[in-house]
Amino acid sequence: MKVGLFVTCLVDLMRPGIGFAALRLLEAAGCEVVVPPAQTCCGQPGYNSGDRKAAKALALKVIEEFDGCDYVVLPSGSCAGMIRVHYPALFKDDPAVIESIKRLSARTYELTDFLVNIAKLQNIPGDYSGSLTYHDSCSGLREMGVQAQPRALLARIPGVKLTEMRESTTCCGFGGTFSVKFGEISTRMADNKCAHIAQTGAGAIVAGDLGCLLNIEGRLRRRGDLDTRVLHIAEVLAGEDACK
């Protein structure tokens, strides 16, 4: 299985460790992993802001870059959703391109979904020990059907004690540029999420999308919580040494 890893722009810029964690997990599952070097961004920021032209240009670039991979895997529900759900919508009136878009779409996966359902990862490298709670990122949940998969993987780490928070599926308030344009509303939504996290007493909050994690971390620290760890699911599953 030749897997193209699309680390995503946020991971590349902010938390490269998540990219390496994803890499380790895919290799542990027996995949041959390539990281197409020209990858940049899936086009979601432009698309959600109403710039379809820019989004289309980036989509065509992505098709080319990942040509030759059996699968395209992303450590992000929202970027994976962009490719799987929104690329076909973007090109629905483009008969010349729609077929190759659909082919790309059909082989694009969010990381935990891929590990559980396609690669069928057996041995989880990480040995996390501690209590944690899980936030269901919106696109991952509603566009990519990611909900049981991360929990199934976490359940296989003996040291992990997972406590579900209230309203784990409620949006954290990130929403891309929404977090800056409507900062007050976004902050309140993040604050609500932090309150639910605090109620669980868990030592760490885990999610599958870095946008959510940065938003939640930002609010936790501003609230004075310097202790709750904020981790991407890949980091927990791959082990801390994989992230360096």
Please report, as residue ranges, which positions from 91 to 130 form the binding site for another protein (by CB under 8 A).
none
Closest CA to 237 of 154, 158, 161: 154
Q: Rounded to the nearest whole angstrom, what is the least distance from the CB of residue 81 to another protein in the complex? A: 9
Which of 25, 26, 28, 58 is the binder for another protein (CB under 8 A)?
58
> Which residue's CB is nearer to another protein, number 82 or number 157?
82
Q: Does 48 bind another protein (CB under 8 A)?
A: yes
- Phi, psi at 45, each rounded to 5°: -55, -45
- Report the chain's terminal Cα–Cα distance, integer Å: 26
With a CB cutoff of 8 Å and minimum separation 6, the contacts of 50 are none
Which of 88, 214, 229, 240 is the binder for another protein (CB under 8 A)?
214
> Which residue's CB is nearer to another protein, number 110 or number 217?
217
- Our CA dihedral for 179, 89, 142, 210, rounded to 10 degrees, sits at -40
Q: Does 149 bind another protein (CB under 8 A)?
A: no
Sheet containing 130-135: order of strands: 160-162, 130-135, 204-207, 229-232
Which of 3, 26, 41, 101 is the binder for another protein (CB under 8 A)?
41
Which of 2, 13, 106, 130 is the binder for another protein (CB under 8 A)?
13
Which of 2, 30, 32, 35 is the binder for another protein (CB under 8 A)?
35
* Cβ atoms of residues 72 and 106 within 8 Å: no
> Which residue's CB is nearer to another protein, number 157 or number 173?
173
Closest CA to 35 of 78, 76, 65: 65
Which of 76, 105, 112, 139 is the binder for another protein (CB under 8 A)?
139
Please report, as residue ranges, which positions from 156 to 175 form the binding site for another protein (by CB under 8 A).
169-171, 173-175
- C-alpha distances (whole Å) from 162 to each of 41, 117, 121, 178, 202 are 32, 21, 20, 30, 8
3-state SS, residue 110: strand
Which residues here bind another protein, judged by CB under 8 A?
Answer: 7, 9, 11-17, 19-20, 35, 37-41, 43, 45-52, 54, 57-58, 61, 89, 138-139, 142-143, 169-171, 173-176, 178-192, 214-215, 217-219, 221-222
